[in-house]
Amino acid sequence: MNYFEYRENELWCEEVPVAEIAEQVGTPFYLYSIRTLKRHFDVFDSAFNALPHIVCFSVKANSNLAILKMFINEGAGVDIVSGGELYRALRAGVDPGKVVYSGVGKREDEIRFALESDILMFNVESSQELEVINSCAEAMKKKARISLRVNPDVDPLTHPHISTGLKKNKFGIDIERSLDEYRRAVKLKYVDIVGVDCHIGSQITEVSPFADALDRLKELIFLLRRDGLEIQYLDLGGGLGISYDQETPPHPEEYAKVIIDKSRDIDCIFILEPGRVIVGNAGVLVSRVLYTKHNSERNFVIVDAGMNDLIRPSLYDAYHHIQPVIKEERGEFVADVVGPICESGDYLAKDRVIPELKRGDLVAVMSSGAYSFSMSSNYNSRPRVPEVLVKDGQFYIIKRRETYEDLIRGESVPNILL
């Protein structure tokens, strides 16, 4: 359930009309419902009550400080993939003992920052990374807690660009080599092996890929324990999908039941890294129609939000439902909903049957809470849009709209050009 609903043909977020926010904040902007965020987190977390677990929210899905703080207040940890995400999470008040650090390209300064912060563990993705972590830990006279990110070669049945668990993907260490890599890690003096990690992809709408991956990881854990390694944590990653269009992803309870049923003999603390499944349907992008345009082949609705604000349709051909903020008694037509960016790939929808829209109309691009603002950019020198959070009958700007001055902050013209 989310808390975006029509009341007398007008879209509300919780107890606030969306059009009222647009009037005060301007468009475009991202809008989040705190009730939805809390409900989705609670549903996911409680589904795993039968297992010792830590829910580590995937910061890359939505990295706003206020969103992170809300989840941290609910008891969440975080899954990070950069030093910047660690900085954000620490500023939001995360317990470093609930931070796991993933990602294939950790720099030495980022590794040192994580070691100084005493995070729970690094999810190591390559042999060379393992050596660098050990070297950094030695220089700092610390022990680095690690797991190896094992690539189980399981097809997640999702878009190729967000598949991460196949042999051809850049992530992790092949499961066939993982036992040898763990044995190599044992010989390193400044790493402490505490877990096994995997992540097979994103927007997964079936339970079977998770079950297949878990079966393979269990075999590895038993082999490692036979070698005398104390595996305390099993990090299953994230990836559970949401409904954007016609998908019917499993409910978190269905997902949890499969994991719980297959895990009774593992005796690990489970780390779960949900992102999209918690924030995806908790946010919308609100935009205004600038112009409509027709040619011999197509109808175009030109809005003030572009691919720099929401790149998922251009990048993945992703579907986001688009609906008017205020419903009018009009017909429907087939149109492309496009933005102001100077690229043919700048669109939010193509060949979409939508209500007839007119200049000045407000539209809501639904299911935009995940991988939306966090992937936005200043392309075409467009200031990034604000983020707004609604709680009950109030709204709060949790990131202000950027100004033109913000666009050039940090830039300088050297004297040789003056």
Alpha carbons 109 and 87: distance in angstroms, whole number: 13
Q: Is 417 a domain residue? A: no
Q: Tell me, what CATH number does 256's domain have?
A: 3.20.20.10
Instruction: Indicate if 316 and 251 belong to the same structural domain.
Output: no
Instruction: Indicate if 241 and 301 belong to the same structural domain.
Output: no
Q: Is 403 a domain residue? A: yes
Instruction: Indicate if 114 and 83 belong to the same structural domain.
Output: yes
Instruction: Report in angstroms the alpha-carbon separations of 293 from 286, 324, 356.
Output: 20, 18, 12
Q: Is the peptide bond before 28 cis (omega within 30 degrees of 0)?
A: yes
Q: Is 415 a domain residue? A: no
Alpha carbons 340 and 315: distance in angstroms, whole number: 17
Q: What domain range is 234 assigned to?
A: 34-278
Q: Is 167 a domain residue? A: yes
Q: Which of 268, 277, 276 is nearest to 147 (CA)?
A: 268
Instruction: Indicate if 182 and 59 belong to the same structural domain.
Output: yes
Query: How many domains does the chain contain in total?
Result: 2
Annotated catalytic residue within 13, 56, 198, 342: 342
The domain boundary, picked from 278, 297, 316, lies at 278
Instruction: Indicate if 345 and 301 belong to the same structural domain.
Output: yes
Q: Is 413 a domain residue? A: no
Instruction: Indicate if 164 and 187 belong to the same structural domain.
Output: yes
Position 164 scores a pLDDT of 42
Alpha carbons 114 and 116: distance in angstroms, whole number: 5
Is residue 335 within a helix (H) or strand (E), and if so which, with residue range? Answer: strand 332-338
* Known catalytic membership, residue 342: yes
Instruction: Indicate if 316 and 198 belong to the same structural domain.
Output: no
Q: Is 298 a domain residue? A: yes
Q: Tell me, what CATH number does 286's domain have?
A: 2.40.37.10
Instruction: Render each residue's pLDDT in the chain as its tens digit; 418 residues.
Output: 779 999 999 999 999 999 999 999 999 999 999 999 999 999 999 999 999 999 999 999 999 999 999 999 999 999 999 999 999 999 999 999 999 999 999 999 999 999 999 999 999 999 999 999 999 999 999 999 999 999 887 765 543 443 343 445 555 688 778 889 999 999 999 999 999 999 887 788 888 888 888 888 999 999 999 999 999 999 999 888 888 888 888 899 999 999 999 998 899 999 999 999 999 999 999 999 999 999 988 999 999 999 999 999 999 899 999 999 999 999 999 999 999 999 999 999 999 999 999 999 999 999 999 999 999 999 999 999 999 999 989 999 999 999 999 999 999 999 999 9
Instruction: Indicate if 298 and 339 belong to the same structural domain.
Output: yes
Instruction: Indicate if 173 and 239 belong to the same structural domain.
Output: yes
Instruction: Indicate if 135 and 244 belong to the same structural domain.
Output: yes
The domain boundary, picked from 278, 300, 320, lies at 278
Q: Which of 292, 325, 291 is nearest to 13 (CA)?
A: 325
Q: Is 133 a domain residue? A: yes
Position 56 scores a pLDDT of 98
pTM attached to this predicted model = 0.93
Contact (CB, 8 A) for 197 and 171: no
Q: Is 262 a domain residue? A: yes
CB atoms inside a 10 Å sphere around CB 267: 12
Instruction: Indicate if 186 and 287 belong to the same structural domain.
Output: no
Position 157 scores a pLDDT of 52
Instruction: Report in angstroms the alpha-carbon separations of 353 from 286, 300, 311, 336, 347.
Output: 19, 12, 21, 9, 15
Q: What count of residues does the chain have?
A: 418
Instruction: Indicate if 109 and 257 belong to the same structural domain.
Output: yes
Q: Is 96 helix (H, G, I), strand (E, B) or coil?
A: helix
The domain boundary, picked from 244, 278, 312, lies at 278
Position 159 scores a pLDDT of 38
